[in-house]
Homo-oligomer: A and B are copies of this chain.
Amino acid sequence: MATIRDVAKEAGVSVATVSRVINSNGYVNEETKKKVEKAIQLLNYKPNAVARSLFKKQSMTIGLIIPDITNPFFPQLARAVEDVTNEKGYTIILGNSDESSEKEQEYLDIFEQKYVDGIILATNTLTVEQIASLGKPVVAVDRPIDSGVPTVVAEHRRGAQAAVRHLLDTGCQTIAHIRGPEHVVSADERCKGYLDIVKDKPWFSDQLVINGHYAINDAYKAASELIKDRPDVDGIFAGNDLMAIGALKAARELGKKVPEELAIIGFDGIDMCETTFPELSTMVQPIYELGATAANMLIELIENRRVNQQYYEYPVQLKVRNSSRGRPPKDVNHADNI
């Protein structure tokens, strides 16, 4: 690979001059500029990004840590981040953390050693201290870390409330909640949203909240038991779509008709919702937008070191499909329920 020195020699100028033309900064005569460009062409010269990074202490790469790209929520998010950062000339390093803070810290260390310019984090096992000690811009996405850290999230709690209200509207008498993992902010918030609505209902009891760890299978098992133990449950709000799908499966296997005997609604709005049977009602998050906004904000932070808004909270949207529709509403009457 040709170096800047080769180009300088070929063009009969100094490396300083070559540097000036490739960065188009500083004065350089048209003539010499032409010569240099020809030499660059001739040698197919591409500046060495590593050498440049070493000097500038920045690498035009950003780190992205997510729990697991295999979870259908994250590909869209990652894609959004890639799209906008790539557009601005950045490149992304991807890390799956499996929610493990060791893995996350490992990645953080690597990012530091590689002069990554900024980091996007979907996690909650990291502390503000760990993040502050990086001395690099960080934005939290999907899961807030601390009010000190720029954040892009959806309205988990409010969305959860809306989901439960929808179930109520549709005539449900006893609504259970399959929650995500403890201490995962989004799961906690959604659970709170559920409780906000139901905690004062006469039928409510702790027993109605079960844990599905954001996973199809865990939710499947938990829902199976729930359905057997509590035949009176006629509505389930799952903390994410995957768990809702698990519940759907449990219901089918136990011969519980959805939505007639049991209405189910999820959260996230992943593509799978449209391919299940019955199709799954859900609270749709603007996943791509979350990622894009986070990426844009991060780049602002990197390049300007200042930003007008530090906290974005996107509304989620109720999308009614067949898993929660078509049941005779008790006290309400919706035209589209027929």
Binding site for B on A (CB under 8 A): 1, 46-51, 53-54, 59, 61, 68-70, 72, 74-76, 78-79, 82-83, 86, 91-96, 109-110, 112-115, 216, 245, 248-249, 271-272, 275-278
Contact = CB atoms under 8 A, between A and B. Distances in A.
Nearest to A111: B91
Contact of A70 (B79, B96, B114): B79
A113 B275 contact: no
A49 B114 CA distance: 5
Given A48-B115, A91-B114, 6 more contacts: A49-B110, A70-B76, A72-B271, A82-B96, A92-B93, A216-B275
Contacts of A72: 72, 75, 271
Nearest to A288: B70
A17 to B, nearest CB: 21
A86 B96 CA distance: 10
A46 B93 contact: no
Contacts of A277: 276-278
10 contacts: A48-B113, A49-B113, A50-B53, A50-B54, A69-B69, A83-B96, A93-B94, A216-B275, A248-B275, A271-B272
Nearest to A92: B94
A38 to B, nearest CB: 20
B79 A46 contact: no
Contacts of A46: 109, 112-113
Contacts of A79: 68-70, 96
A47 B110 CA distance: 10
Contacts of A96: 79, 82-83
Contacts of A272: 271-272, 275
